[in-house]
Amino acid sequence: MTVMAERTSSQMSVDVFDRISEFAERVDDTVRLEFIDGRIGVKKVTNGDHGSIIMWLIRQCMRARPELDLNPTQGLKVEAYRRGRARPDGALAPVGHFAGQGDWAETRGVLMVVEVTSYDSDTHNRDRGEKPHAYAEAGIPVYLLIDRDSLSTLVHSNPDPEDGYRDIHVVKLGGKVSLPDPVGIELDTEELKQYID
């Protein structure tokens, strides 16, 4: 996933962003836009290793919690007052939760979001700064970051709308990761080491 972000006017409304996003998708169906912290980002097609990590995680979630879906395509309304728009690499919610919600779903009922870092210059600001804060503001209980740069998984929990996630647990790839309630899944990340570029 490569994101190219540009500064936008702080006056841009979500309605304007939605129109821009819809137009971009009509012109090129491989382009997906995000709007976080007043910035438009372009989320491009991912590479094979990135996709393999997401598919591995989908299988783990299905085995441990078959009543939940990890949706890799659902956009979410994030930040305070749902001013932002994010496309996480995965959104964990009850089966059928996103039915009828359109491109940008409310975060109520989402148990966890997942991001896998990309090898680009904006990943630090986006995946380690802007997105965790936006997800915490929206009240999503767990944010799982699979950080391919630091070869680790970071489990963010205990969201605070002003301070972000209060608890961050770091485990090197290859170790066991406990995803706290309401997720309640343990992951053995040894297999993920083969998907690091």
Candidate from 11-25, 108-122, 146-160, 175-189 with smallest mean pLDDT: 11-25
Rg for the chain, CA atoms, rounded? 16
Which of 12, 14, 72, 8 lies closest to 41 in space, CA to CA?
A: 8
DSSP annotation of 25 reads H
Q: Look at residue 3 in the predicted model and tell me its pLDDT.
A: 38
Distance CA 165, CA 178 (A): 16
Hey, is 6 helix, strand or coil?
strand
pLDDT higher than 60, residue 191: yes
Q: Look at residue 196 in the predicted model and tell me its pLDDT.
A: 84
Mean pLDDT of 41-63: 83
Contact in structure between 153 and 146 (CB atoms under 8 Å): yes
Q: Look at residue 84 in the predicted model and tell me its pLDDT.
A: 84
DSSP annotation of 175 reads S
pLDDT band at 117 (very low <50, low <70, confident <90, very high): confident
Mean pLDDT of 149-159: 95
- pLDDT > 70: what percent of the chain? 72
SS3 string of 55-124?
Answer: HHHHHHHHHHCCCEEEECCCEEEECHHHCEEECCCEEEEECCCCCCCCCEECCCCCCEEEEECCCCCCHH
